[in-house]
Amino acid sequence: MGRAAVFIDEGYFDVVTKNYGNLRIDYESFTDELCDPDRRFRTYWYHCPPWQDDPPTSDQRERFGNYQKFKDALSYLPRFKIREGGLQKINEEFKQKKVDIMLAVDAVKLASTGKIDRAIFVTGDSDFVPVIESIDGTGVTTTLCYDPNQPIHNSIRSAVDERFELNKDFLNNHRR
């Protein structure tokens, strides 16, 4: 039995769970099963807090409070690490900043230091192809977990060693 780390791009995973009826997921059982038959070394969760104007609206305050409660609950789970980026507002559009870089640094660091035998990515973002390619020479197996109903670039699908489809039945088995 080896050690596996799960890297969750929550922006992507939010879309997946919303498409299946706003599923509320038990992240501990979900990531433990993704790692099977390996032992989960750690789960890394990447996201940005919701935008707040200065001063924030009551809706923004409520959304931020709910985000904080959820983030706090995740942080109490064993072997979970929370990584937060920030949102930048550009021409009325919000862009995540730092999230992809933090995920890349964590994945490469764990793979190159021999802390893990398997890196499991819950994402659909082809920006992670260079990360996966750099891990390739370390002997770490890379697995992509994705929703087959979401558009996903072929470059990330072909870059990994293994692919795992997140479907409604699998996700329903990990409802909170």
Q: What is the pLDDT of residues 125-148, one digit of tens each?
A: 888 999 999 998 899 999 999 999
Percent composition of the chain: helix, strand, coil (DSSP 3-state, to 5): 40, 25, 30
Give the whole-angstrom CA distance, residue 91 versus residue 94. Answer: 8
Strands 141-146 and 93-97: unpaired
3-172, CATH topology level: Rossmann fold (3.40.50)
pLDDT level of residue 170 (50, 70, 90 thresholds): very high
Tens-place pLDDT, residues 23-35: 999 999 999 999 9
- Residue 126, Cβ neighbours under 10 Å: how many? 15
Is residue 44 a contact partner of residue 74, using CB atoms and an 8 Å limit? Answer: no
Q: Considering the entire predicted model, what is its pTM? A: 0.94
Mean model confidence pLDDT for the chain: 93
Q: Domain-by-domain residue ranges, the chain?
A: 3-172
